[in-house]
Amino acid sequence: MQQLSAKTSHFTDSVIRRMTRVSMKYDAINLSQGFPDFDPPAAITDRLAEVAHKGPHQYAITWGAPNFRAALAAKQAPRMGIPIDPETQIVVTCGSTEAMMCSVMTVANPGDRVVVFSPFYENYGADAILCGAEPTYVELHAPEFTFDEAELEAACAKTNTKALILCNPSNPTGHVFSRAELDVIARLADKYDLWVITDEVYEHIVYAPHEHVYFASLPGMEQRTLSCSSLSKTYSMTGWRLGYVIAPAEVTDRLRKVHDFLTVGAAAPLMEAAVAGLELPQSYYDELTALYTHKRDLFCGGLRERGLTFTEPDGAYYVMVDISKFGYASDEEFAEELCRRVGVGGVPGSCFFNAPENRFIRFHFAKSDEVLIAALARLDNWELMAR
Ligand SMILES: Cc1ncc(COP(=O)(O)O)c(C=O)c1O
């Protein structure tokens, strides 16, 4: 038999999704894969019921239904502080996952380098590799998970560096990049002529006093930014697979073609129903922030009461718990044992780092209060994890 492709030969299955299966095996409360256990807003699900009977059920325009793009532009333009032409600057994709893959494919040639902060959401390495590009990792230093300017500049200055991937707010660290940090990235993007591909799926889950600054809103950055995001987290609808890229018209023109060959388009009836979400008033986003602020305080407060050391997030819904005191050589073993002995599923932190790192377990708190309280009660038994 012929060999399968070399570039996919080092791929492992997603550790995050594997931990969901391990949690199920041990009947553990699954705080690993980051999706909410509550429903999307009723405005969206009610509309879906109507759409089921009225359609559309056939292909939409490949780069997104016109009313979805119009509603998205109306929602995002004032928030991002840039004009967005729904006709020429938006591609609707199957989640931010496809948005990111399409964006990297659109800007990078085989042999190009892409700067990725580490720890990072595990898809970015794969995005680069599938495009034949090489990731250059720049460490985000714990516990604040901030970068060193000189280290970032050294990465940007490497030959053939074409783009930088910025996940803000960051998964897994919960770091929200400050305006000052973003200004540094903008200066370097300008100096080294880089595309900046953002992943802003947690744009509406940011805890005061932190604020989300859209990278494309920085002076001069609109022209070099491909802003990726999705409806998955904002409207608690990760299974709908609706995301998008907002980019300058010339870039969008190319993105559309890549997207067309990859997936043809996002699901037409789901786009139609989701317009009801895009049209929700500001109060919806305020309530979402209040909901997650409450969950963060509940979960982090519980971890603190149990004497655990962790990084309190500025945004997104993840907590990195430091497990070094338990003395495990492998965080994967720790995560499996945590499911088996304590009954709580988390993600071994090593899968987010490019360098060897066994110090963290990531939990998410996008769960009902009952589930979070039950998980914390189980975590009373941390001592079962002693070696
Ligand atoms: C940073 C980040 N980007 C993208 C995704 C996936 O988003 P989508 O469901 O829109 O593909 C996730 C999901 O956890 C994520 O955390």
CB of 120 shorter than 6 A to ligand 1: no
pLDDT digits (tens, 9 = 90+) for 310-320: 999 999 999 99
Cα separations in angstroms, 37 against 26, 45, 168, 342: 19, 15, 23, 21
Cα 133 to middle of ligand 1, angstroms = 21
**CA dist., res. 343 & res. 127, Å (int):** 33
The atom number, within ligand 1, closest to the CA of 229 reads: 10
Q: How far is CA 362 from CA 28, 148, 163, in A?
A: 15, 23, 28
Please tell me if the CB atom of residue 97 comes closer than 6 angstroms to any atom of ligand 1. Answer: yes
Q: How far apart are CA 363 and CA 373, in angstroms?
A: 14
Fold of 42-280: Aspartate Aminotransferase; domain 2 (3.40.640)
As a whole number of angstroms, the distance between CA 51 and CA 209 comes to 40
Atom of ligand 1 lying closest to residue 202 CA: 1
User: Does the beta carbon of 243 lie inside 6 Å of ligand 1?
Assistant: yes
Cα–Cα distance, 130 to 6 (Å, whole number): 10
Domain 6-40+283-382 top-level CATH class: alpha beta
Between the CA of 232 and the centroid of ligand 1 the distance, in Å, is 7
Distance CA 242, CA 96 (A): 7
pLDDT of residue 304: 97
pLDDT per residue as tens digits for the range 64-87:
999 999 999 999 999 999 999 999
Closest ligand 1 atom to 94 CA:
11
Q: How far apart are CA 226 and CA 103, in angstroms?
A: 7
Angle at 31 between CA 28 and CA 37, to 5 degrees: 100
Atom of ligand 1 nearest to the CA of 231: 10
Range with the poorest average pLDDT among 120-134, 179-193, 237-251? 120-134
Q: Is the per-residue pLDDT at 261 higher than 80?
A: yes
Angle of helix 268-278 versus helix 42-54 axis, rounded to 10: 150
Residues of the chain with CATH 3.40.640.10: 42-280
Determine which residue's CA is closest to atom 14 belonging to ligand 1: 34
Give the pLDDT score at 14: 84
Question: 3-state DSSP: the chain helix, strand, coil percent, rounded to 5?
Answer: 45, 15, 40
Q: Convert the pLDDT of each residue in 296-306 to its tens digit.
A: 999 999 999 99
Average pLDDT (159-173) is 97
pLDDT tens sequence across 27-59: 999 999 888 999 999 999 999 999 999 999 999
- Which of 4-18, 179-193, 331-345 is predicted least confidently? 4-18
199 lines ligand 1 (CB under 6 A): yes
pLDDT at 277: 98
The reported pLDDT for the residue numbered 176 is 98
Question: Is the pTM value of this prediction over 0.85?
Answer: yes
For residue 5, which of 137, 126, 163 has the smallest C-alpha distance?
A: 126
Do the beta carbons of residue 333 and residue 327 sit within 8 Å? Answer: no
Q: What is the DSSP letter of 173?
A: T
Going by their DSSP bridges, the two strands 161-167 and 113-118 should be labelled as parallel
Cα separations in angstroms, 251 against 173, 245, 297, 321? 30, 10, 41, 40
**Largest alpha-carbon pair distance within the chain?**
59
Q: Calculate how far, in angstroms, residue 167's C-alpha sits from the geometric centre of ligand 1.
A: 10
Go through the chain and tell me how many residues it has: 387
- H-helix or E-strand containing 233? none
266-291 pLDDT per residue, tens:
999 999 999 999 999 999 999 999 99
Dump the DSSP string for 25-52: HTT-EE-SS---SSPPPHHHHHHHHHHH
121 touches ligand 1 (CB under 6 Å): yes
Mean pLDDT over 334-360 rounds to: 94
Q: What is the pLDDT of residue 190?
A: 98
Give the residue, out of 94, 233, 320, with the most ligand 1 atoms within 8 A of its beta carbon, to mutate for a pocket test.
233
pLDDT confidence bin for 361, thresholds 50/70/90: very high
For residue 98, give the ligand 1 atom closest to its CA: 11
Residue 17 pLDDT > 90: no
CA of 89 to the centre of ligand 1 (A): 21
Expressed in angstroms and rounded, the spacing between residue 179 Cα and the centre of ligand 1 is 23
Residue 387 has pLDDT above 80, yes or no: no
Residues of the chain with CATH 3.90.1150.10: 6-40+283-382
What is the whole-number distance in angstroms between the Cα of residue 344 and the centre of ligand 1?
A: 22
